[in-house]
Structure 1
């Protein structure tokens, strides 16, 4: 009898475990949800969203589509989402770009017109160059910039990558030309064909070229070396006191209902713990940095205030 009871309990436990692992997706008020990005196809936010959508449907009862709205360094995408209904049907992929665009220009809608929903990741910014080019280290790039100025690529005029490049210029005492693009894919092409000495971007944009061995990483702006890329030095280790980390999350129109934000808080925690997704984002060198809805507004406000202070210090804004 005892053995029989033990066996039944074991079977029951296995069944409950299976139920918890394969629970029904959370009910949601919309069958289709649009995730908007300012990034071009192949750019960092585009890759992030398209990979995320492969797993979200397991945890939220909806179909997710990605919409690329390019132009104005993110201004058009922000305006698209700010003007959408605040019902949970449309969201924007937040990165520092939407803060920089709001501060450096006068768009029709700014980061203040969106409601931060939830943050998912911290993303490593890296400096890369083509493998068959003349640069083996970051110092090689700086040495050329001292002699011939040089050309460095950044994703768009109002981006963390652009500010990383500007801060590196200042720290190194060089006057390299910063060439901006509307997306990481376009910048990659110009690095590969030698138009640019280096590009600054995220590893997830570079995965195909890294696997093919056509580009090399010269440094990361992370405070510490990337665990998955231990041979890549930090910019600080290379002798230049610059350190930056990118955030990746979601925001919607202002006034999101509580029943929507609660679903996303639960679903994002679950999707970040999903073993299949975890394997994918670890390969992309994305670090989970879950910030729930109740705390994300304060995070964005603090980032924006710090960024504005830096831009005023450097004379970029008055």
Structure 2
């Protein structure tokens, strides 16, 4: 074989090897990108929120990305009524096969403790937590209130009206704690969902509303509503000019958790898929950009530890409600 022919042959072998390696790499990438096998073809994610409410928005955004990591079709079902009691009962009565889950927030703890429904948080199995959510106080942009102190001053003069999502929500408890810290007796008007409450703030029926930043984002960006304060321990990175409630002079701090729970008795082949998939979802660049813009902070708690987290929150909440006389 002459020198030129040897070079040609070696070049051909190099190209073949490079092609094989590239093909193997591409195959590995495709294999890694394949969603995990799952025992159910359709998964229903249930929320007590009305369309446009915080949990509704959370689930609908999440479903845009879940299919990349779990081989199933995801649908959102709004089951309103009883401050979440109907939604909890819907999930608690479903088979524990991974086909139905509930969007957990502090609401399902408060509802269980305050109203004693037939099915409570104890009848669901916490699956995993995804986020810590930011609770904020907001008002209409063209209204008379430019600070939280303006709202408190109004409440001292003629009581005022404040909005919260539903009677057994963290927002309702935030309003009650703010009332106590400020020494006012504002009327707390509750709603089945944050969307309805926001409309009543925007039309002037309510002085302020207390809700999650993510469900308000579009109206904030449109300049229709403004945020007066956050219940977070620190200021919001996206709104550094907005003070915390504590900075405004009222010692109240609250953070909302967001996760999923299913019927009691979830099998390992279901919980393991979710544990792995949710961590990948939270690292998905597109989803990360979206939830960061909505001031959601990733706070993953896996299936092994989430029940203890939920039970600990419930114990603390029950102690607070007893202390304030809300329950005996």
Distance 1:238 1:35 in 2: 38
Q: SS state of the match for residue 26, structure 1?
A: coil
Give distance in 2, aligned partners of 1:240 and 1:227: 21
Indicate the residue corresponding to 2:132 in structure 1. Answer: 122
Please show how residues 229-248 of structure 1 align to structure 2 within 5 Å. Answer: 229-248=239-258
Deviations 1:203-261 (A, max 9, x none): 11112211110000000000001111111110001010000000000000000001100
Q: Describe the SS at the equivalent of 2:305.
A: helix
Q: Deviations over 1:28-60 (max 9, x none)?
A: 011000000000000000000000000000000
Residue from 193, 196, 211 that aligns with 2:206: 196
Are 2:130 and 1:147 aligned? no
Post-superposition shift, 1:19?
A: 3.4
Equivalences for 1:59-78 in 2 at 5 Å? Answer: 59-78=69-88
| Secondary structure of residue in 1 paired with 2:75 | strand
Match of residue 189 from structure 2: 179
Identify the match of residue 104 of structure 1 among 99, 110, 114.
114
Residue pairs, 1:233-272, within 5 angstroms = 233-272=243-282
1:207 maps to which of 203, 214, 217: 217
Q: 2: distance between equivalents of 1:314 and 1:10?
A: 67
Structure 2: distance between partners of 1:215 and 1:10: 55
Measure the CA separation in 2 of the matches of 1:271 and 1:23.
12
1:124-182 superposed Cα distances (whole Å, 9 cap, x missing partner): 00000000000000000001011111100000000000000000000000000000000
Matching residue of 2:322: 312
Give 1:16 deviation, angstroms. Answer: 6.6
Point out the structure with max Rg over C-alpha: 2
Q: CA deviation at 1:9?
A: 9.6
Q: Distance in 1 between matches of 2:137 and 2:28?
A: 44
For 2:261, what is the secondary structure of its paired residue? strand
Query: CA distance change for structure 1 residues 27 and 125 in 2, over 3 Å: closer, same or farther?
Result: same
TM-score (norm 2): 0.93
- In structure 2, the residue corresponding to 1:112 is in which secondary structure? helix
- The alignment partner of 2:45 has SS state of strand
- Whether 1:273 aligns to 2:283 is yes
| Structure 1 runs not aligned, ≥5 long | none
Q: What's 1:136 paired with?
A: 146
Q: Which among 29, 39, 44 is matched to residue 18 of structure 1?
A: 29
Partners of 2:210 and 2:25 in 1: CA distance? 48
Following TM superposition, the consecutive aligned residue runs of length 4 or more in structure 1 with deviations greater than 3 angstroms are 4-20
SS for the counterpart of 1:293 is coil
1:305 and 1:139 map into 2 onto residues whose CA distance is: 32
Report the alpha carbon displacement of residue 15 of structure 1 after superposing the two structures with TM: 3.3
Structure-2 separation of matches of 1:186 and 1:205: 11
| 3-state secondary structure, aligned to 1:195 | coil
| SS of residue in 2 equivalent to 1:272 | helix
CA distance in 2, matches of 1:17, 1:280: 28
Mapping for residues 46-57 of structure 1, pairs under 5 Å? 46-57=56-67
SS in 2 for 1:65: strand
Normalising by structure 1, we get a TM-score of 0.96
Q: Which residue in 1 is equivalent to 2:50?
A: 40
Give the structure 2 partner of residue 168 of structure 1: 178
The equivalent residue for 1:300 is 310
